[in-house]
Chain A
């Protein structure tokens, strides 16, 4: 009898160790997955965020800053910052910034791109959300794997959360977990949490590099009213309105304009405009993967944007963006971001000819849909080490 008990406990313990080992390895690999970035001809240098705020050195959030431009850019030319991965669970933003760094050339001005603005958030997924740990984009040379990520910084890197998050410097009370939300911690502070320090470092980048324009790339659930739009600080209202018209007439899709609410604190489109000379714009594309009424939360939903349950919500008038059987494929979402960036820079240059930002060789909406996002990703296996970086 005693031997039977021992045998049962041994079997159960072995089964437990197997599950622990597999789940632990899966989480470990997901957290440490290296994503290759093959920088294009337009790259000047790669800096770290700690270059602008040494307090971030050694932190997981000491993100890469890719600087694109010409060797001899004129002092008078403009400068822009594009942020991908403020919320890594919104992959179109990261992928669009990937395509920027791997393909774009600057004819005028300088372009700073951060592919993963919150690296910590890219290393975990939403607890209870049943997210896949990663996803793959097909390319002509194989498949490139990316981390799925979450909306909030990984609790392994920033812990504990307060009962109520009090935003600095407004002292507005926000939801407790938003102290780990990079789009609620702008402008950041040097003595704050890791997420606040990351925003502080980016604020310092904007000030020290004399950035004129910041474009923060996001995606939104279809049951959220701020979708398929440019959210603009009041300093950028004309720019956003003109860009919206140009996009609608030239790029083949419609995008609206929302104005950044003055009373809603901590967001990039509010705080960057209030605390730096730059004009911040935030772009939203539709991502049915984020909707609460979605079905199976898998890689297919993430990349195709097809979901019968969210469609059913649409039939009941609960969506703020259309959703049909074609879904919202990742190529459509990446293409929307890229064409929006192209048109925003174009309009910016027309409005500010003394601070031009002119980007070339960047695929547009129609091209990304026609060839696929992966067509524009370079093969890291054929790349000399000097041009290969990892996120």
Chain B
């Protein structure tokens, strides 16, 4: 069960990371762009199993 939940969790992390990257690309406001990148950092660290 825990393995299945962990798999879903990493899928969710990847999905939100992709959303942040997509929003960063579409944004036209530099402050929003910085915000997306700051929010992306912990998601990528977890996705790559670094933290």
Contact = CB atoms under 8 A, between A and B. Distances in A.
Interface of A: 5, 8-9, 12-13, 15-16, 19-20, 23-24, 27-28, 31, 124, 156, 159-160, 193
Nearest to B3: A159
Contact of B37 (A16, A24, A27, A159): A16
Contact of A19 (B2, B24, B41, B49): B41
Given A12-B24, A159-B6, 6 more contacts: A12-B30, A12-B34, A15-B37, A23-B50, A24-B50, A193-B2
Nearest to A125: B51
A160 B5 CA distance: 7
B9 A160 contact: yes
Given A27-B50, A156-B49, A160-B6, A20 B30 contact: no
B2 A9 contact: no
Nearest to A157: B49
Interface string B12-51: 0000000000001100101001100100110011001111
Interface of B: 2, 5-6, 9, 24-25, 28, 30, 33-34, 37, 40-41, 44-45, 48-51
A27 B45 contact: yes
Contacts of A24: 44-45, 48, 50-51
Max chain A C-beta neighbours (<10 A), residue from B9, B24, B51: B51
* Interface residue SS majority, chain A: helix
Contacts, number: 47
A15 B34 CA distance: 10
A9 B41 contact: no
Q: Which 9 A-B pairs have the closest CB atoms?
A: A16-B37, A27-B50, A27-B51, A24-B50, A160-B5, A159-B6, A156-B49, A12-B33, A28-B50
A12 B21 CA distance: 12
10 contacts: A8-B33, A16-B41, A20-B41, A23-B41, A23-B45, A23-B50, A27-B50, A31-B50, A124-B51, A159-B6
Contacts of B33: 8-9, 12
A15 B33 CA distance: 12
A283 B1 CA distance: 37
Contacts of B41: 16, 19-20, 23
A5 B33 CA distance: 11
Contact of B44 (A15, A20, A124, A193): A20
A159 B2 contact: yes
A24 B51 CA distance: 8
Contacts of A156: 49, 51
Contacts of B9: 159-160
